[in-house]
Structure formats: C-alpha cells, structure tokens
Amino acid sequence: MIKLYQFPISHFCEKVRWALEYKGVPYEQVNLMPGRHISVIKGLAPKSCVPVLVDDDKVIQDSAAILTYLDEKYPERSLTPVNPAEKAAALEWERYLNGEFGIHVRRFCYHWILQSPGTAVPLLAHKGPWYAGIVLRLAFGKLSKIMRKSMNISQETAEESRQHILAALERVNHQLEKQPFLVGSSFSRADLTAAALLAPLCMPAKYPISLNRSVPTEIAELNNRIQPQVQWLYRWYDSYR
C-alpha cells in the first residue's frame, strides 16, 4: 500500500491527498508531528519536508514530483495534460502557484495562527500522535521561533505575502475570465494546485482541516475580501475533490 508521509495541516500535502483521491489510488496517511518529522523524513529522503510518497521501493519527495509520478504510474484520470503545450503550461502554473499561493498563504496564515498556542497547537497536532498536543504546547515558544525563522515570518513579510496572494489571484482570475480552467478545457494539476494551496485561507467544506471558530481576525478579513475572486475554488472542491 502506498504511504503518504504528511502533516494534515499542510496545503502542499493537500495537493497530493487530492491527486491520490481524485485518481482513486488507495493509500495510507502517516501523520507526523512538526519537529519530530525531521528524523523520520531524513531517514527516507534528502530534505526534511513533506509530502513524501513511498510506493514499494520508490520514494518521492515534493508535491510536483509526486503528481508527475502518480500520473506516470497510474495514468487513469490524468492531471497532467497530454498535449505538450498544455502540459508545459500546466507545469508552469503549478510552479508559479507553489510559490505565490503555497509560500505566501502559509506565511500569512502562520503569522496570525502562531500568535496564540490555543489556535496553533490543535492545528499542528491535528490527527498526529496522541501526545502531540501536550508536546507541542510545552515546546510552543521554541517551535514558534523555529517556524518563524525557517519560513521568514514577521509582521512585515506577512503583509508582503498578503500582497503576493492578491496579485496571484488577479492573474488566476484574469485567466479564468477567458476559459473555465487554467489550462485547456479540463481540470488539471494547475487547477488542483491553485485550489489546494489557497484552501487554508478559504476553508472549503471538503478541506480536511478547519480553523472553525478560532480563525484569527486577519485571516477572516482576507478570506472575506477575496470571496468574490475565489468562487472557482469552491466549485472545484465541490466537483473534483
């Protein structure tokens, strides 16, 4: 059985969960606790980041590489367009969105989530080992410092990230005014990437983790502001997730 090493809260992992489930490929989730994940992942792959997919003797790290691998090994319901020009366009959208939504949604959201252990710890410990909540609460000060440093999170960079998200959203909507999908005439990895990486901010019902009542005001404000520009996200979550 395929194993996905992941954090439930991670939107890069959401890309892979979505791809596996869309393609109907059975898999098992191995939920890791932030911090403790390093020794597990470094035992499997070169970098410490998740998602990591293990399929028999194959170990693939990085969401884009995993999507490519899945489409090559399990071609049913391909997310990668067959037409070479469309394939190149889908990969380019994915690369762009991994940065502009992936990095910046994460930085913006963590800046506000990490203000309070009461908000952050349940999200980081979600579906992890039983002791994750206790350990993360005890280590919260240190963990929060490490996360802020490694993701370059501050008030200033969070504001820059908000601007990046809004600019990328303009670009996505500009494309979607011309056509129903980012590339070609069907749902592809470009659309999946856009929706999955924006999901922590927009919280569609099918996103497996939700801030619910504890959503920090600044996240709720940005979510409200972009609602008219993200209707495609809810549509794609409803139709394809």
Ligand X SMILES: N[C@@H](CCC(=O)N[C@@H](CS)C(=O)NCC(=O)O)C(=O)O
Site residues, ligand X (CB under 6 A): 7, 10, 12, 38, 48-51, 62-64, 98, 106
Residue (68 or 214) nearer to ligand X, CB: 68
CB of 127 to ligand X, least distance (A): 15
CA atoms of 196 and 95, how far apart (whole Å): 14
Size of the chain in residues: 241
Residue (12 or 18) nearer to ligand X, CB: 12
CA atoms of 114 and 148, how far apart (whole Å): 9
CA atoms of 230 and 223, how far apart (whole Å): 9
Residue (140 or 229) nearer to ligand X, CB: 140
CA atoms of 63 and 96, how far apart (whole Å): 13
CB of 128 to ligand X, least distance (A): 14
How far CA 140 is from CA of 33, 52, 54, 115, 118, in Å, comes to 13, 25, 30, 11, 10
- Helices 117-125 and 140-150, interaxial angle, to 10°? 80
Residue (104 or 106) nearer to ligand X, CB: 106
Residue (49 or 235) nearer to ligand X, CB: 49
CB of 10 to ligand X, least distance (A): 4
By the 8 A CB rule, do 2 and 29 touch?
no
CB of 151 to ligand X, least distance (A): 8
Residue (59 or 229) nearer to ligand X, CB: 59
CB of 178 to ligand X, least distance (A): 27
CB of 150 to ligand X, least distance (A): 7
